Structure 1
Amino acid sequence: MIVKKISIMVSVLFSISMFSQEIAKTEIELKPIVKVSYLDSVKSSFKKDELATRVDSLWMNELVSLDIYDDLTKDIQTINTDVTVDEELPTELLKQRLQAMNEKSPFDIEYNQGLENIIKSFLKNRKKSFSRLMALSEYYFPIFEDAFARQNVPLEIKYLAVVESALNPKAVSKMGATGLWQFMYGTGKQYALKIDSYIDERSDPLKATAACSQYMTKMYSMFGDWELVLASYNSGPGNVTKAIRRSGGKTKYWDIRSHLPKETQGYVPAFLATMYLFEYHKEHGINPERALVKNFETDTVQIKAQMSFKQIADLLDMPQSQIQLLNPSYKLNVVPFYQSEAHYLRLPKDKVATFVSNEDKIYAYAAYQSQNKTMSTRLALKVTPKAKAKLENIIDTDYKSYKVQKGDNLGTIASKYHVDIIDLKKWNNLKSNAVALGRNLKIKTDYDPATKTFKEIKSTLAVEKKSEEAIASADDKDKKNTQSQEYKVASGDNLGSIAKKFGTTIAELKELNNLTSNNIGLGKTLVVSKAVPEIIDENAVTTAIASNSSIDSFKKKVPSSKDLGEDYYVKKGDSLYSISKKYPGVTISDIKKWNNIKNGEIKPGMKLKING
Structure 2
Amino acid sequence: MEIRLGGAWISRTTLRDCIPRGALLKVITAGALLALAACAPLPPANPGDTSANAETMSTVADLPNVPANPRVAAATQGRRLDSPLIKQVAPTGLSPLVVDLTVAPADVWTRIRRSFAVPNIDTPLVREWENFYASKPEYLQRTAQRAGKYLYYIIEEIDQRGMPSELALLPFVESSFDPWALSRSQASGLWQFVPATGRGYNLKQDWWRDERRDPIASTNAALDYLQYLFEFHGDWHLALASYNWGEGSVKRAIEKKAGQGMPTDYLSLDMPDETRNYVPKLQAIKNIIANPAKFSIVLPTIDNQPYFVTVTKSRNIDVKLAAQLAEMPLEEFKALNPSFNRGVILGRHEPTLILPADRIGVFEANLLAHNGELSSWHTHQMARGDTLASVAKQYRTSVATLRSANGLGPKSSVSAGDSLIVPVGAAAGEPAIIATAVPAAVRPVAARGAAAVGKKVHVRTHRVTKGDSLSSIAKRYDTTVDQLRALNRIKGSAVQMGKTLQIPGTDSRS
Q: CA deviation digits over 1:87-120, x for unaligned, max 9?
A: xxxxxx9751599899974322132222222212
Q: Which residue of 2 aligns with 1:381?
A: 398
Are 2:382 and 1:365 equivalent residues in the alignment?
no
Contact 2:92 2:287 in 1 (8 A): no
The 3-state SS of whatever aligns with 1:357 is helix
Match of 1:525 in 2: 499
**Aligned pairs (5 A) from 1:205-216:** 205-216=215-226
- Name the residue aligned to 1:328: 338
Distance 2:368 2:211 in 1: 28
Letter in 1 for 2:372: Y
State the 1:299 CA deviation: 1.9
Please, which of 35, 43, 49 is the counterpart of residue 72 of structure 1?
A: 43
Does the residue aligned with 2:462 lie in a helix, a strand or coil?
strand
Q: Is the 8 A contact 2:37 2:142 kept in 1?
A: no
| 1:351 maps to amino acid | R
* Equivalent in 74, 79, 93 of residue 96 of structure 1: 93
Q: Secondary structure of 1:128's partner? A: helix
The CA deviation at 1:248 is: 3.2
1:419-469 Cα offsets, whole Å, 9 max, x none, are xxxxxxxxxxxxxxxxxxxxxxxxxxxxxxxxxxxxxxxxxxxxxxxxx9x
**1:268 Cα shift?**
0.7
Query: Mean Cα displacement is larger for which, 298-307 or 170-179?
Result: 298-307
Cα distance per residue 1:19-48 (max 9 Å; x no partner): xxxxxxxxxxxxxxxxxxxxxxxxxxxxxx
Paired position in structure 1 for 2:126: 115
For residues 255 and 116 of structure 2, the distance between their equivalents in structure 1, rounded to whole angstroms, comes to 27
Query: Which residue in the other structure is 2:463 paired with?
Result: 486
Where does 1:153-552 land on structure 2 (aligned, <5 Å)? 153-248=163-258, 250-256=263-269, 259-290=270-301, 296-338=306-348, 341-362=349-370, 364-367=371-374, 369-370=376-377, 381=398, 485-487=462-464, 503=478, 525-528=499-502
- Do the aligned partners of 2:241 and 2:250 also contact (CA within 8 Å) in 1? yes
Contact 2:392/2:398 (<8 A) preserved: no
TM-score (norm 2): 0.57
Q: 1:502 to 1:288 in 2, by over 3 A?
A: same
Question: Take 1:99 and 1:241, find their aligned partners in 2: how far apart are those partners?
Answer: 37
The equivalent residue for 2:23 is: none
**Between Structure 1 and Structure 2, how many residues are aligned?**
340
**How many percent of aligned residue pairs carry the same amino acid?**
25
Encode CA deviations 1:174-208: one digit per residue, 9 max, x unaligned: 11001010001000100011111111111111111
Report SS of the residue matched to 2:202: coil
**Which of the two has greater helix per residue?**
1
For residues 324 and 227 of structure 1, what CA distance do their matches in structure 2 show?
35
> Kindly tell me: are residues 499 and 151 of structure 1, through their superposed partners in 2, closer, same or farther at Cα, counting changes over 3 Å?
farther
Q: Shift in Å at residue 312 of structure 1?
A: 2.1
Give the distance between the partners of 2:394 and 2:288, measured in 1 at CA. 53
In 2, are the aligned partners of 1:298 and 1:347 still within 8 Å (CA)?
yes
Query: Is the contact made by 1:136 and 1:291 (CA closer than 8 Å) also made in structure 2?
Result: no
**Amino acid in structure 2 at the alignment position of 1:278:** I
Larger Cα Rg: Structure 1 or Structure 2? 1
Q: Which runs of 5+ in 2 are unaligned?
A: 1-32, 51-89, 98-111, 379-390, 402-427, 429-459, 505-510
In 2, the alpha carbon distance for the partners of 1:232 and 1:306 equals 40
Deviation at 1:61, TM superposition (A): 3.6
Higher RCO (C-alpha 8 Å, min separation 6): 2
Deviation at residue 285 of structure 1 after TM alignment: 2.7
Q: 1:353 and 1:382, CA in 2 relative to 1: closer, same or farther beyond 3 A?
A: same
**Counterpart amino acid of 1:204?**
D
Match of 1:60 in 2: 36
TM-aligned CA deviation for residue 350 of structure 1? 4.2
TM-score by length of 1: 0.48
Q: CA deviation at 1:225?
A: 0.8
- 1:563-602 pair list within 5 angstroms: none
Please give the alpha-carbon distance, in whole angstroms, between the structure 1 residues aligned to 2:268 and 2:129. Answer: 19
Q: C-alpha displacement at 1:288, in angstroms?
A: 2.3
Cα distance in 2 between the residues matched to 1:224 and 1:110: 17
SS in structure 2 of the partner of residue 248 of structure 1: helix
Tell me the amino acid that sits aligned with residue 149 of structure 2. Y
The 1:276/1:251 distance shift into structure 2, 3 A limit, reads same
1:375-425 per-position Cα deviation (integer Å, ceiling 9, x unaligned): 9995552799xxxxxxxxxxxxxxxxxxxxxxxxxxxxxxxxxxxxxxxxx
Q: Aligned equivalents of 1:231 and 1:296: distance in 2?
A: 31
**Quick check: 2:214–2:338 contact (8 Å CA) kept in 1?**
yes
Q: CA deviation at 1:503?
A: 4.7
- Is contact 1:197–1:331 with CA below 8 Å preserved after alignment? yes
Per-residue CA deviations over 1:290-313 (Å, capped at 9, x if unaligned) read 469x87143222213211121123
Instruction: Identify if the C-alpha distance between structure 1 residues 354 and 377 changes in structure 2 by more than 3 Å, giving closer, same or farther.
Output: farther
CA contact (8 A) 1:107 1:226 kept: yes
Question: How far did residue 236 of structure 1 move?
Answer: 0.7
- Once the two structures are TM-superposed, the CA of residue 484 in structure 1 deviates from its matched residue by 7.0
Measured in 2, the distance between the counterparts of 1:99 and 1:246 equals 40
Distance 2:394 2:318 in 1: 16
In the alignment, is residue 106 of structure 1 matched against residue 123 of structure 2?
A: no
Contact 2:153/2:306 (CA < 8 Å) preserved in 1?
no
Any conservation in 2 of the 1:106–1:226 contact (CA below 8 Å)? no
Question: Once the two structures are superposed, what CA deviation does each residue of 1:555-597 show, in whole Å capped at 9, x if it has no partner?
Answer: xxxxxxxxxxxxxxxxxxxxxxxxxxxxxxxxxxxxxxxxxxx
SS at match of 1:314: helix
Distance 1:377 1:108 in 2: 64
SS at match of 2:93: helix
Q: How does 1:13-92 map to 2 (within 5 A)?
A: 59-62=35-38, 65=39, 67-68=40-41, 71-75=42-46, 78=49
Report the residue type matching 2:217 in the other structure.
K
* Inter-partner Cα distance in structure 2 for 1:383 and 1:137: 40
Give the Å deviation of 1:165: 0.5
Residue ranges of structure 1 left out of the alignment (5+ in a row): 1-54, 80-92, 385-467, 469-482, 510-516, 531-612
1:297 to 1:118, Cα distance in 2 relative to 1, 3 A:
closer
Letter of the 2:373 counterpart: A
Partner of 1:169, secondary structure, is: coil
Distance across 2 between alignment mates of 1:99 and 1:242: 39
